[in-house]
Amino acid sequence: MTTSLQDRYAAALMNTFGPPQLVLSRGKGARVWDEDGREYVDLLGGIAVNALGHAHPAVVEAVTGQLSTLGHVSNFFATVPQITLAERLLDLVAPPRVEEAAHQAGSRGKVFFTNSGTEANEAALKLTRRTGRTQVIAAEGSFHGRTMGALALTSKAAYRQPFEPLPGHVTFVPYGDPEALREAVTDETAALVLEPLQGEAGVVEPPVGYLETARAVTREHGALLWLDEVQTGIGRTGAWFAAAADPDVAPDLVTLAKGLGGGLPIGACIGLGQAADLLQPGHHGTTFGGNPVACAAALAVLDTIAEDGLMEHATGLGDRVRAAVAVDRRVTTVRGRGLLIGVDVTVDAARVVAAARRHGFIVNATGPHTVRLAPPLVLGDDDADQFLAAWPGILDDAEDAGDSAASADHLGAP
C-alpha cells in the first residue's frame, strides 16, 4: 500500500481496525491482487465469507441478472429470491420427514433475513425474550458479533468492557464442559447459545456428545438451543452445517451469514418448531434484509456448492492441509473440520501472518500463537500445495523476525 493511500484511509475512515495490511484491487478464484499488482493466495476468504472465491461466474451472473430486473423493494413486499432462499435453507437445516408431509409448507420453521451475522444474532436474542425469560447462557471463548446485543453474548473482555453495561442477563460457562451446562441451565433460562466450533477462539471443537448434552439440558428446562453457525455453516466444515442439521442436536434457533452470500451481505435467523412463531408483526424489522440481490447471490452459492461437490472437496483438502502443516516442529496443535483450520505455533502468530504475506499468502491470527485458515471452498490443489511447500519457510521467517526483535530489544536495554 502506498503512503498516500494509507494517509487517505486514515483521514477518511474511523480507526476501528487499525492500519490496513493491504489495498486489494481485484480477485479471481482463490487469488487476489493488491494495488501494486502483487498476487496472493487468499487463505482467509474474507474471514470465511468468500465461499466461492472472488468473481465467481455464478455469483456475478446471479447478481447482475437480479439487479437488472429488481434491486430492492423493502419488506412491505416479497420477492421470489427471498421466498425461494428461505425454503431452501429450511430444507437444508430441517429436511421434511414423511410424517410432516400433510402439514402446510413452512411448518418446520421460518426465516428472518438480515445483512450480517451480528444482525442475525441480534434477531435471535430478541426472539429469546419472547419466551418470557431473560437469562441467556453463552460460552467462554465465544464470538457472536459487535452490536450491543450480540456483544453481550461475546466473552472477550477487550471487546465488551468499553461498552458496558451491556444487555443482560448473560451467564458464561466453559466451552465443552457438559457439567457446566447442567449446572447453569435452569427453568429461568431463555436460551443457550453455542458455536459448533468456536472460530474466533482459534477453531475450537467441543468433545463428542457435548452438543447432544446441550440439547437434552435445554429441553429438560424448556429453554431454546441456539446454534451460531455464522462461520461454520454453508459448506465450510464439509457439510451444510457443522451441527444444525443433526437430528440428535435439533436446535430451536440457527444463525447464519458469512459464506451464505459468497461476498454479498446477508444473514439469516432461522426459527425451528415453536421458535418459528415467537416473532410477530412489529417485533422486529430490517430495511435491507432479504434484499433480492443478496438472496439471488445466496441461491447461486448454494447451487454451486452442491453441483460442484465443494463440501466433499473441503473435507478432503482440509484433511490434507491439516496433516501437512502439523509436520513442522513449530506446530503444536492443528484443529478444525473441512476448510476451517486453526494452527497453534510456537512462534508469534502475528509474525507468521506478516511472513505469509511476504511469501504471497493471506492468513490471519486469532490469538498470540494461533493462525486461522478459512480459504474459499474453491481453493485448488495447486494453490494448497504451493502454500504447504512455503509453510516451513514462512515459519522460518517468522522465527527469524522474532529473534531479530529480541536482539534489538536486548541491545536497547539499559
What is the rounded CA–CA span in Å between residue 163 and residue 40?
37
Question: Among candidates 258, 135, 110, 134, which has minimal Cα distance to 195?
Answer: 258
Catalytic site residue from 42, 112, 113, 143: 143
Q: Identify the bridge partners of residue 239 per DSSP, sorted by sequence position.
A: none
Whose cell is 527469524? That residue is: 400
Q: Is 228 a catalytic residue?
A: yes
Catalytic site residue from 42, 112, 228, 344: 228
Q: Is 126 a catalytic residue?
A: no
Q: What is the 3-state secondary structure (H, E, C) of the chain?
A: CCHHHHHHHHHHCCCCCCCCCCCEEEEEECEEEECCCCEEEECCHHHHCCCCCECCHHHHHHHHHHHCCCCCCCCCCCCHHHHHHHHHHHHHHCCCCHHHCCCCCCCCEEEEEECCHHHHHHHHHHHHHCCCCCEEEEECCCCCCCCHHHHHCCCCHHHHHHHCCCCCCEEEECCCCHHHHHHHCCCCEEEEEECCCECCCCCECCCCCHHHHHHHHHHHHCCEEEEECCCCCCCCCCCCCCCCCCCCCCCCEEEECHHHHECECCEEEEEEHHHHHCCCCCCCCCCCCCCHHHHHHHHHHHHHHHHCCHHHHHHHHHHHHHHHHCCCCCEEEEEEECCEEEEEECCCHHHHHHHHHHHCEECEEEECCEEEECCCCCCCHHHHHHHHHHHHHHHHHHHHHHHHHHHHHHHCCC
Using CB atoms within 10 Å of the CB of residue 186, give its burial: 0 to 12 exposed, 13 to 18 middle, 19+ buried. Answer: middle
Q: Is 110 a catalytic residue?
A: no
Catalytic site residue from 42, 112, 258, 383: 258
Question: Among candidates 171, 252, 178, which has minimal Cα distance to 214?
Answer: 178
Whose cell is 493491504? That residue is: 22
Residues with a catalytic annotation lie at 143, 228, 258
